[in-house]
Amino acid sequence: MTGRHDRRGYTYPTGYRPNLIATLRNSRSKPSYAVSNSTGGERTFRLSPGDEPGRRTVLRDRTLCFLGRRGVSTTAFHLVEQLPKRAPETVLVARDPGGVVALAACATWPDAKIVTHYLDAFEARGATRTFHRNDVTGIEVALTPDLPGGPFDLVAIGLPARGEALLGRELLEQAHDALRPDGRLLASTDGGTTWLRKVVKEVFGRADLQGRAKIGGLVTTRRTRSDARRRDHDHVVEVTRGERTLALKTRPGVFSPGRLDIGTRALLESFTAPPGARVLDLGCGIGALGLCAAVDAGPDGVVMVDSSARAVAVAEENALVNGLDAARCVLRADLEDLPGGPFDVVLANPPYFSHGRIADVFCATSARELAGDGVLRLVAKAVPLHGEILERHFRDVRVTKVRDYGIFEARSPDRRH
Ligand SMILES: C[S@@+](CC[C@H](N)C(=O)[O-])C[C@H]1O[C@@H](n2cnc3c(N)ncnc32)[C@H](O)[C@@H]1O
């Protein structure tokens, strides 16, 4: 196994992430993330493209080795280490960025049917590429708004502590119903196990902590009930636009569940789309921006795109329920290949993660998709960062401060880029 053993014999993965530091501060002995120098006869999987070996993580008694820039996450580490020896016939892996757990399941049980589920097209594409890079063909990738139905003998799911709790709970409820009677759940976390144990117990009636690890842990149980103890996770928010009030459904896992984001609201208040305008809503979430623009301009020229299968499904439902279903909703991994352009207006509230990489993709896409006299309207809290990114792609960039947000207006895409 990779990493050093602590006094109790537990090991830690090489691929820890900064969010673990808070947990570590409270521990007396300093954990170590040593990189294994094993050269045993293990099966090796390359997690990153290119030849750079990156971190080496050796698991399951040196039978599996993962090479990759970021190593193996703590949630994947616990799941891979605790996959039962006895082969199930059908397995569902969920929330497995990079596809590590699915690869381990495939190597451990070559005859099992393995389905791996993603909510996000970008992650699904990344995992699919990893499977191809390693010549693994037997894993089915499901990119759907909800977990596939099953029945499965085993569900393995990683629930990072920094993830959304409501989404975690809903996925555990769906995992319950996807299992056959007496089917087994393995659920791992990279934070404290109290929340995970509590929710698994509520949903399944019982939850057992497997071993004790200093960082994160694994909870296991079986399906004994006919139905999961479910909560209703959907909410409807009302948004007034001109004479109309739109009823917009929100769901866990889709941006700003249960309310309209303040930045979204600020952007909505800053414009009215001209009648007949072709409008692109980049990263549409529940579709608030695109559907309000559809009220202003008419829905025929409105395109809403997101990488989240759940977001696109919710936006589609919201368009239908509000009589705006002529607006199109499309699922894309990275905003490639969009229908309906060129656009007169692009609307965006880009995500903050990945140090501006996605905001840069959003701005580059806007520059590519806008008509010559079109305008990008973008809201962001990190005003200097987004100003800098926008100036890479547009010649004319203006910003107005509204509350804590910058409302940007960018025109004249610089076609040299
Ligand atoms: C901050 S949210 C804004 C959602 C919505 N526009 C609103 O204002 O309520 C950003 C959205 O971008 C989506 N997203 C992130 N990366 C993406 C990508 N590479 N391609 C398309 N959408 C992406 C997320 O799924 C999320 O729905």
Task: Please work out whether the CB of residue 284 comes within 6 Å of at least one atom of ligand 1.
Answer: yes
How far is the C-alpha of 79 from the C-alpha of 158, rounded, in Å? 7
For residue 120, give the DSSP letter: B
Is-contact 285 306, C-beta < 8 A? yes
pLDDT for the residue 204 = 97
Query: Same CATH topology for 4-222 and 235-413?
Result: yes
Q: How many CB atoms within 10 Å of residue 9? A: 7
Specify the CATH number of the domain 4-222: 3.40.50.150
C-alpha 87: how far from its chain's center?
A: 29
Instruction: Please list, in sequence order, all residues whose beta carbon lies within 8 angstroms of the beta carbon of residue 20, skipping any fewer than 6 positions away.
Output: 74, 190, 215, 216
* CB neighbourhood size of 276 (10 A): 10
Q: What are the phi and psi torsion angles at 268 (to 5°)? A: -60, -40
Packing angle between helix 262-269 and helix 288-297, nearest 10 degrees?
A: 20
Kindly state if the Cβ of 122 falls inside 6 Å of ligand 1: yes
Find out whether 29 and 12 touch, Cβ atoms under 8 Å: no
* Residue from 122, 250, 251, 255 to probe ligand 1 pocket by mutation (most atoms less than 8 Å from CB): 255
Q: Taking Cα atoms as reference points, which of 190, 188, 180 lies closest to residue 210?
A: 188
Assigned token pair, 150: 């099953």
Query: pLDDT at position 37, please?
Result: 42
Please state which CATH class domain 235-413 belongs to.
Answer: alpha beta
Q: What pLDDT, on the 0 to 100 scale, is given for residue 12? A: 30
* Minimal-distance CA residue to ligand 1 atom 6: 284
Cβ atoms of 285 and 311 within 8 Å: the answer is yes
Does ligand 1 come within 6 angstroms of the Cβ of 318? no
44 C-alpha vs ligand 1 centroid, how far in Å? 34
217: nearest Cα among 12, 405, 370, 397:
12
DSSP state of 194: H
Give the chain's residues under pLDDT 70. Answer: 1-41, 51, 53, 415-417
Structure token pair of residue 409: 């207006």
Cβ atoms 73, 54 nearer than 8 A: no
Pocket of ligand 1 contains residue 335 by CB under 6 Å? yes
Which residue's C-alpha comes closest to atom 24 of ligand 1? 283
Could you give the maximum distance between any two Cα atoms of the chain, in Å?
70
Domain ranges of the chain: 4-222, 235-413
Is the bond preceding 275 in cis, omega lying within 30 degrees of 0? no
- Whose Cα sits closest to atom 11 in ligand 1? 283
Copy the structure tokens of residue 13. 């993965």
